Structure 1
């Protein structure tokens, strides 16, 4: 009995001592990696939410200007957080993968509506009933979004767009129809099957002043892999000396996990 009491006292004393060693919370605050800004688009007749990351040096140097990376599927529960992490890590001086950059994540309202042009395929129309309005969304990017960013932040002339899947389809459409809208294009797993692959037949004569086009696709099936390779071949046949083309077949990646490593690889060739 005495031994049991002694044991209980020892345990109780140990617990009290342990609890006294746990530090008290002095202060807590939210950890943020950017700001969410809502703007009203007259062209789309709706509010659009932007997630914006600003490099740490932005406030320290009032004269420095920054490249801008525009991210499709840029919601906080989509690709904004992990791409910003990649940009922040890659811009460390000892990594030097990518210059310090502003990242603008465009949150989705209806990606099927915004990322697709009208399809003549009946199945596309049936499965994506709101589709076919990429023209309006591209106008929004050109005439409202980019001017808003350039007017409110210290930007320079280098800007990059990142799009995957349907976002890759949209990035390809912009490359074909509004080439000068971006300096660099990062196109990952583009959904070029849309509209019976008709975007690949678009009559494109030049890439104008586009500096880099990076295309990547994972092990994603015959159609996805073939059309991504066809896109690269199409651009290869007309690229000027000013345009650098890059193609990555990520055979150990899928449609779901190709984006992160593809963007890392793209940064390594675009900003080297």
Structure 2
């Protein structure tokens, strides 16, 4: 691993991508008929969204989007850069009425102001997601994350909507709501249902928060079988307010466990990678094709670990799918240059310069340096 990073230090900058906001849809309003209100939506697209015309991305819905959107979008960017998780379209959904929208039962104390989770789910599934599919290249895979009351809501989704929501993160969920009513639904995880993944966590929190998580743990441990794959995690050094950052990073890695085909120094050929993801689709319950960063990471890693033909083949496959990617073209130029294929390397580098200029790329100066050296 040290050899890989030492050798690749000049090229690793091209592995990185930034989260780019769609110019016309960075922030917009959805006028919801079901909620009878306008909801602020924020969208962050992977940089590679601009590099293809047909590649589709999974969606991550971020509850409490006005406060949780930025750090989650940044973490998705970082983790996907190294192929730990897939690149995703991150969608922040603001909550105008948390108590009503995120609770699944109405209680007397909050009559008329609680119990709206069913209607809120109709908004997400029947209004927001169809609009996102109309406007963006969205894959048939939806994940959702929430904290505190919205963590209670994502728990509700994990238990009731596995057919529409494939993965759920619940950070410090308020399981205590309505005398822990949500816990009475846990047993239905035994019922026949689509495969899904669920991560739930709790910080160092006293009283009913801790009690709810302990009871959830006990109930899940007692289930004989389930098509839902879950992981429970505790963060004893975090508080209720600080846990969303680490909770979402750990949760993202959990729900996409096994997604990285080459987590260590070993490398794979392109056919081996394709077989890996075919099998991963079977075991994980979802089929997401290799994305921009996977081609880049796996290709460069193979090249720097002595498998230049493998690396070149992986990167060439990448530019076929993402033909406008300055990052992949430059990485391909690097691998071809290492293989003493200078004319082909220069051709790839010229492509990288073309698209870097077209995208006003932050990597333009580094890409120009390699282009000058090849010339």
User: Normalising by the residue count of structure 2, what TM-score does the alignment of the two structures yield?
Assistant: 0.58
> For the Cα contact (< 8 Å) 1:119–1:194, is it kept in 2?
no
TM-aligned CA distance change 1:56 to 1:195, over 3 Å: same
**Aligned-residue offset at 1:217:** 0.3
**Aligned-residue offset at 1:199:** 1.4
Residue 212 (structure 2) pairs with residue 223 (structure 1): no
Aligned to 1:152: 135
Aligned to 1:133: 116
Kindly report which structure 2 residues correspond to 1:9-158, keeping only aligned pairs within 5 A, or say none: 33=21, 35-75=26-66, 78-92=67-81, 95-120=82-107, 122=109, 125=110, 130-158=113-141
TM-aligned CA distance change 1:239 to 1:91, over 3 Å: farther
TM-aligned CA distance change 1:120 to 1:262, over 3 Å: same
Aligned to 1:254: 239
TM-aligned CA distance change 1:233 to 1:147, over 3 Å: farther
Structure 1 unaligned blocks of 5 or more? 1-30
> For the Cα contact (< 8 Å) 2:101–2:114, is it kept in 1?
yes
After TM superposition, the structure 1 stretch with the greater mean CA deviation from structure 2, 206-215 or 187-196, is 206-215
> For the Cα contact (< 8 Å) 1:160–1:183, is it kept in 2?
yes
TM-aligned CA distance change 1:137 to 1:239, over 3 Å: farther
> For the Cα contact (< 8 Å) 1:182–1:210, is it kept in 2?
no
Identify, as 1 or 2, the structure richer in helix.
2
Write the distance in 1 (CA, Å) between the matches of 2:28 and 2:224.
Answer: 37
Structure 2 unaligned blocks of 5 or more? 1-18, 259-375
> For the Cα contact (< 8 Å) 2:145–2:169, is it kept in 1?
yes
Partner SS, residue 247 of structure 2: helix
Partner SS, residue 144 of structure 1: helix
**Aligned-residue offset at 1:239:** 7.1
Partner SS, residue 163 of structure 2: helix
Aligned to 1:183: 166
Write the distance in 1 (CA, Å) between the matches of 2:152 and 2:79.
Answer: 26
> For the Cα contact (< 8 Å) 1:115–1:169, is it kept in 2?
yes
The alignment covers a number of residue pairs equal to: 234
Write the distance in 1 (CA, Å) between the matches of 2:39 and 2:65.
Answer: 11
Write the distance in 2 (CA, Å) between the matches of 1:265 and 1:80.
Answer: 16
Kindly report which structure 2 residues correspond to 1:193-208, keeping only aligned pairs within 5 A, or say none: 193-202=176-185, 204=188, 205-206=190-191, 208=193
Partner SS, residue 90 of structure 2: strand
After TM superposition, the structure 1 stretch with the greater mean CA deviation from structure 2, 250-259 or 225-234, is 225-234
Write the distance in 2 (CA, Å) between the matches of 1:164 and 1:207.
Answer: 28
Partner SS, residue 65 of structure 2: coil
TM-aligned CA distance change 1:234 to 1:145, over 3 Å: farther
Write the distance in 2 (CA, Å) between the matches of 1:147 and 1:187.
Answer: 24
**Aligned-residue offset at 1:88:** 0.9
Residue 256 (structure 2) pairs with residue 267 (structure 1): no
Aligned to 1:11: none
**Aligned-residue offset at 1:207:** 6.7
> For the Cα contact (< 8 Å) 1:121–1:195, is it kept in 2?
no
**Aligned-residue offset at 1:218:** 0.5
Write the distance in 1 (CA, Å) between the matches of 2:30 and 2:106.
Answer: 29
Question: For 1:33-82, what per-residue CA distance to the aligned partner results, in whole angstroms no more than 9, with x for missing partners?
Answer: 4500212111112221100011100011112110110000001xx01111
